[in-house]
Every structure is written in C-alpha cells, then in structure tokens.
Amino acid sequence: MIHRNKYRNIWLFILMIGLGAFVVSCGPKARQPVGEMDTPAHHTYVGFKLLDQEKYAEADREFDLALQLDRKYPRAHAGKGLAKAFQGDFKPAFEAMKLAKRYAVSKEDKMAAHVGYIRLHTMNRTADKGWLDKVKDEYSWALQIDPQAPALYHYTGRAYKEALDFAQAGNMFAKVLELKGDYVGEADREWNLIQKIQRAMPGTTAGKKIAILERINRADAAALFMEELRIDVLYKKRTPKSFDTDFKDPEKARTAPAAPTAIDIADHPLKVDIEDCLKIGIRGLEIYPDGTFRPGDIVDRATYAMMIEDILIKVTGDHALATKFIGTTSPFPDLRSDLPYFNAVMTVTSRGIMGPLDMTSGEFAPLKPVPGVEALLIIRKMKEELKFF
C-alpha cells in the first residue's frame, strides 16, 4: 500500500510537470524581429522618448512591441505602467509595474522599477491618502541599490513638491545637481522654482498648491487674493467706515438685491473665494455679460496687472492711478501705449510689483500666462508696497 501511494505521488508529480510544460508551450509565442532595430531595448527607448513628448498611446504601443519580443523585459513593463498611468488607467499601471519589479535582475532594472513606482504613487496621489509613505518606502529600498542614481532623487523631489514639502524637494533637486549626471537640466529648473516658492513664502495650503502650477486660472487668482493677500481684511482696514442715517423703506430693504454670483461656480471648490472677490469687485475678475465667471480661464500677465492696479486704487484711494500713464511712451518693445491694459502694466512695473518677462529683450509679454509662483511673488511685493503685513 505504501509503495502504491509512493508511485502514485511520483506519477502525479510527473503529470504536473508535463501539464506545466504544455501550458507554457501553448502560451503566446515571442514575435520574431523583422529588422535590426526591432529589439525590446529599441522599442523601450522609443517608448520613453514618446512619454516625454506626452504621446502616451504611441508610447504604450512601443512598449507592447517590446513585450511581444520579450514578455519578461522589465523596463518595457515599467514604461507600460507609466503610459497607462498618464492615461488615467491606474489598475493596469500598477500591474505592469509589479511585473517590472518581478522580472528585474540587474541593478539598473531594479532601480527603474522603484523609480517607476515612485512616479505611479505620485500620479495617483488624489486617490491614495498614503501615497507619500509609499514613495518614501520605494526611495529607501532604491537607495540601498544605488545611492548615486539621479533619477531616484529627481522623481522623489517631484513627489515632495506635490506633497508641498518644499524643503525636502529642494534637497532632492540639489542632490541631482551635485551628481552632475542625468536630469541636471530638469532638476535645475525645479530647484529654481523651489527657491522662488520659498521666497514667496505662501502662508496657506491654497497658496502652496497654486505655487507649483505652471499657469493660474481665474479661480486661482481669486483664492490668492482672498487667502494670501487677505483682500477682504485689507479693504476693511483701509476703507473708512460710512454711516447711512437716511430713512429706509422696510419693504425695499426686504427686497435688497442679492450679492453677485455666477451661474457656473455652484460646484466649484473655490466658490467661496470667487464669491467674496465678486462682492469686492476687482477689475479683471468680474462676472461676464452672460452670467458666467469661467473659473478655468487662464490668467495672462496683462489681466493680472489690471487686477493688481485695481486693488491698489481701491486700497490707497488714489484714483489718479487709473489714468496716470495715458499718453506716455511705452518702455516695452511688445507693448503699445494705446492698449487698454497699458496703464495697468505701467502702474505695476513702475512700482516694482511686476517686471519684464525677458530681462534681455525687455519684453513684458502681456499675453503670456502667469505661473503660480510669479503670482505669489507679486502678491508678496504688494504686501510690501501697502505696508499692511
């Protein structure tokens, strides 16, 4: 009986091996290359290049071509994970990155998987409250593999920037510059941005979030004026109180007009800031004739200058500012003196609150968007100008 069980177990073992071999043999066969450059390495290289160009679907296809040649090619799995994440499809993104880590053998491939996970967790931050802890774990593991890898510090720095930890982000970007390897150009831009943010000293969470934006919209501008400049408090302190002692008809008092609002901000997260700005009335942040506020519209430098000029006029009471530079010659090669925003640009630049975008050419670039950090630095200069804080 014992021998019978023994032989049965042996036959079962052989059967399982055979079945496994059969399954493997029936699996998808590797595609045969059709040319010298039809290799997993080349397709993966092209895929990452397309990712940098924000051509995510095309990049995804290149990674698929690489995996058709070698289904265990780790960097192709890592690239595919990023391509899926950039397209907002996070479940297959994490599945692909898991395969990248599983098949990684070399130090470089292991590092690519850890860096890939750091990027995925950063992109998935709104859906995962514990994303930063996961980034820190990946960073710690990767640090043991290669403490001289610029990509590790660069993408961890970006993660800290998104977490609004600007001190740690700055340290990471400084390390990339110290290593003098890959990502030096990108890290230098990021490091300079962090330095500007720290100079701007945003005091609110909203201000910190807006600081890292490449361009602000009308809703962002309203939030900055309310939360960073505290324009409502500023107006109350600088505007003299007036008392109306005239008789008021009770019926008319009960039907007083409601505060201005817009028809397209009901569900906007910055609705309160927008409505508070509308109550004050800031030139450039008004409701449009069709009743909309258009919170997502990008703010250009000329419009931001008009907003700042209007705030200066209201707070200082100096209404002569509105026409002070009319008829003067423009010092900017790209700004005509007959433009509707010329006076505003001159008002803010003559006081050092704003300046030319290009110091070499002297161009003001009125139609260029306003980055978040520039908007904050302008507000800081406003505070100094008004001697309010």
Token reading at 326: 């009319």
pLDDT of 186-214, one tens digit each? 999 999 999 999 999 999 999 999 999 99
119 plus 229 within the same structural domain: no
87 plus 230 within the same structural domain: no
What is the spatial distance between Cα 166 and Cα 171, in angstroms, rounded to a whole number? 9
Q: Among 151, 176, 200, which residue terminates a domain?
A: 200
How far apart, in Å, are the Cα atoms of 291 and each of 216, 253, 262, 265?
21, 25, 6, 10
139 plus 209 within the same structural domain: no
Instruction: To the nearest 10°, report the CA torsion of 374, 376, 377, 380.
Output: 160
Number of compact structural domains in the chain: 2
What is the C-alpha R_g of the chain?
30
DSSP 298: B
Question: Domain holding 165: CATH number?
Answer: 1.25.40.10
Whether the model clears a pTM of 0.85, i.e. scores above it, the answer is no
pLDDT of 135-166, one tens digit each? 999 999 999 999 999 999 999 999 999 999 99
Token reading at 72: 């265990």
CA contacts within 13 A on the Cβ side of 275:
15
Give the H or E element holding residue 303.
helix 301-316
Confidence of residue 178 (pLDDT cuts 50, 70, 90): very high
Where would I find the beta strands (DSSP E) of 216-330?
none
191 plus 263 within the same structural domain: no
Checking if the pLDDT of 339 tops 90, the result is yes
192 plus 47 within the same structural domain: yes
56 plus 170 within the same structural domain: yes
Q: Domain range holding 337?
A: 205-239+259-386
